Amino acid sequence: MNLKKSGHVIYDLLLFIGMSIVYFTEAIVLTLIPRRYRAKSIQNEIALVTGGASGIGKLITIKLAKLGAHVVVWDIDKNGLVEIAEEIREAGGKCYTYCCDITDKEEVYRTAKAVQIEVGNVSLLVNNAGYVHGKTFLELPDREIERTFQVNILSHYWITKSFLKDMMKNNHGHIVTIASVAGLLGTYNCTDYSATKFAAVGYHESLFTELKVHGYDGINMTLVCPYLINTGMFHGVKPRLMPMLEPEYVAEEIVAGILTNEISVVLPNSIKYLLPLKWLLPSKMCWALMYHIVKGPQAMMMFQGRKSNETSNNGDYSTKYYKNIYARVKTVRG
Distance CA 286, CA 292 (A): 10
Q: Which helix (H) or strand (E) holds 222?
A: strand 219-226
Q: Which of 170, 65, 186 is nearest to 126 (CA)?
A: 65
One of 193, 203, 216, 291 is an active-site residue; which one?
Answer: 193
Distance CA 86, CA 84 (A): 5
Instruction: Tell the burial category of 27 from Cβ atoms under 10 Å away from its Cβ (0-12, 13-18, 19+).
Output: exposed
Question: Do 140 and 190 meet the contact criterion of CB atoms below 8 Å apart?
Answer: no
Distance CA 315, CA 329 (A): 18
C-alpha dihedral over 145, 151, 155, 159, to 10 degrees?
Answer: 180
Phi, psi at residue 299, to the nearest 5°?
-55, -65
Question: Do 64 and 81 meet the contact criterion of CB atoms below 8 Å apart?
Answer: no
193 assigned to active site: yes
Distance CA 75, CA 78 (A): 7
Q: Which of 174, 182, 209 is nearest to 275 (CA)?
A: 182
Rounded to 10 deg, the angle between the 191-213 and 155-170 helix axes is 20
Question: DSSP string spanning 38-66?
Answer: TPPP-TT-EEEEETTTSHHHHHHHHHHHH
Distance CA 241, CA 239 (A): 6
Q: Which residues are catalytic?
A: 193
